[in-house]
Amino acid sequence: MTQNSNDLRARRTRKLLRDALLELIEERGFDAITVEELAARAMVSRSAFYRYYQDKYDLAEQIFEEAMSVLLNAVGEMGMERPPQVWVKFFEHIAEYERFYRALLGRKGSLWFVRKMHASLADMVKEHGRVPSRPNTSDRPVYTFPDEFVPNLVSTMFVEAIIWWLEQGRPYTPKEVATRCALLASALFKEASTWQ
């Protein structure tokens, strides 16, 4: 068998397992799912599942990390010229992977995933609020955080905004919801910068 057909088989198996995960979360909830059920729904063997993933958490985490990698690459390419654009790109990403986020952040989702999302967003907030190594020459203030309080607060706001936005059927465009969230975060950063 050629390497190309092995790669094709691996991609197909991963896709089947990912689709099965989302279907089962939507039906029964993340916590109730077993590896045996995932493999059966995907019509692959358990050994095929374990060839690619350690458990259901590893499967969900790999999907999340791939999605976040796409987002962070896009954010990295745009630099900090227009910080609200970072959040527009973020909500466009959420819209693109809506089914995944709706499943894992929704009522049948997982507290484990909510915490993972929260931590990733807190890291993103810290990264894009840090004072650059060179002096700030833009007209926008750049904030630093003496502890985790503000990044955690902002990441919680963003997670809750995502959940609300998806549950309401995305009543605002990604740009509108990103702008509102970015304005709230900016106000919080400004206030927090006055704290001693």
CATH of the domain at 77: 1.10.357
Is 108 a residue whose pLDDT tops 70? yes
Note the pLDDT tens digit of each residue in 3-12. Answer: 556 788 899 9
**Domain count for the chain:** 2
Can you give the CATH number for the domain in which 30 is found?
1.10.10.60
pLDDT digits (tens, 9 = 90+) for 151-174: 899 889 989 999 999 999 999 999
pLDDT score of 141 more than 60 = no
Host domain of residue 91:
56-192
With beta carbons less than 8 A apart as the criterion, state whether 56 and 33 touch: yes
Reference 94, options 158, 179, 20; nearest CA is 158
Q: Are residues 98 and 29 in the same domain?
A: no
Residue with structure tokens 């929260």? 118
Q: Are residues 110 and 184 in the same domain?
A: yes
Whole-number pLDDT of residue 132: 31
Residues 139 and 113 in one domain: yes
pLDDT-above-70 percentage for the chain: 81
Structure tokens at 149: 């309080």
Contacts of 73 (CB under 8 A, 6+ apart): none
Report the predicted TM-score, pTM, of the whole model to 2 decimal places: 0.74
DSSP string of 9-53?
A: HHHHHHHHHHHHHHHHHHHH-GGG--HHHHHHHHT--HHHHHHH-
Q: Do residues 62 and 111 share a domain? A: yes
What percentage of the chain has pLDDT greater than the value 90?
32
Same domain, 144 and 96: yes
